[in-house]
A and B are shown apart, each in its own frame.
Chain A
Amino acid sequence: MTDVTSRLTILALALVAAVASGCQRSDAAPASASAAAAAAARRPTRVIRIARREGKVREYPCLKCHDKITAVLQRPTPIKRHTAIRIKHFKGADACYVCHDTRAMNRLALLSGESVGYDASYELCGQCHGEKRRDFAIGAHGKLVGGWRGTAYKYNCVDCHDPHHPKRAAVNALPPPPFPARGIRKSRGAHR
Chain B
Amino acid sequence: MKRRRRRRRDGKHPLSRRGFLRGLGAGAATAASAAAATVGTSACSTDWDKVFQKHYKEMTAADKKKVFARIAAEAKQRFGKAVTVSDPQPLPGVRFAFCISLSTCNGNRKCVHACVEENNQGRDPAIQYIKVIELDRGTLDLERGDQYYGGEVPRANKVYLPMQCNQCDNPPCVKVCPVEATWKEPDGIVAIDYDWCIGCRYCMAACPYEARRFNYHQPSLPASQLNTNQGYLSNRVRPRGVVEKCHFCMHRTRRGAYPACLEACPTGARKFGDINDPDSEVHKIVKHKRVFVLKEELNTVPHVFYYFD
Contact = CB atoms under 8 A, between A and B. Distances in A.
Interface stretch (A84-92, A118-126, A166-174): A166-174
Contacts of B14: 2
Contact of A140 (B131, B149, B284): B284
A12 interface: no
A52 interface: no
B225 interface: no
A192 B274 contact: no
Given A143-B265, A170-B153, A177-B131, A148 B256 contact: yes
Given A140-B281, A147-B257, A176-B149, A135 B309 contact: yes
A170 B158 CA distance: 13
B143 A191 contact: yes
A46 B268 contact: no
A46 B280 contact: yes
A189 interface: no
Contacts of A176: 109, 147-150
B108 interface: yes
Nearest to B160: A173
B272 interface: yes
The interface size bin for chain A is 35 or more
Contact of A173 (B101, B125, B150, B285): B150
A140 B126 contact: no
Given A172-B151, A173-B149, A192-B144, A149 B126 contact: no
Given A138-B288, A140-B309, A168-B106, A173 B152 contact: yes
Given A45-B279, A148-B253, A174-B113, A139 B263 contact: no
A46 B284 CA distance: 12
Interface residues of B, number: 51
B228 interface: no
Given A139-B281, A140-B101, A173-B109, A149 B274 contact: yes
Contact of A46 (B131, B266, B279): B279
A141 interface: yes
A155 B279 CA distance: 18
B17 to A, nearest CB: 16
Interface string A153-165: 0010000100000
Nearest to A136: B309
A3 B152 CA distance: 51
A170 B154 contact: yes
A138 B279 CA distance: 9
A70 to B, nearest CB: 38
Of listed B154, B265, B271, B307, residue having the most chain A CB within 10 A? B271
Contact of A171 (B12, B146, B152): B152
Contacts of A170: 106, 152-154
Interface in A112-147: 132, 135, 138-147
A175 interface: yes
A30 interface: no
A63 B70 CA distance: 62
Given A45-B279, A170-B152, A2 B12 contact: yes
Nearest to B252: A147
B214 interface: no
B99 interface: yes
B289 A140 contact: yes
A150 interface: yes
A173 B108 contact: yes
Contact of A148 (B13, B110, B149, B273): B273
Contacts of A186: 146
Contacts of B266: 171
9 contacts: A3-B12, A46-B280, A46-B281, A138-B281, A139-B271, A141-B101, A172-B153, A173-B107, A191-B143
Closest 7 pairs between A and B when the two form their complex, measured CB to CB: A143-B268, A139-B281, A46-B279, A174-B109, A138-B284, A148-B273, A149-B256
Interface of A: 2-3, 44-46, 48, 132, 135, 138-150, 155, 160, 168, 170-179, 186, 191-192
Given A138-B284, A149-B273, A170-B154, 4 more contacts: A144-B281, A150-B256, A170-B152, A179-B148
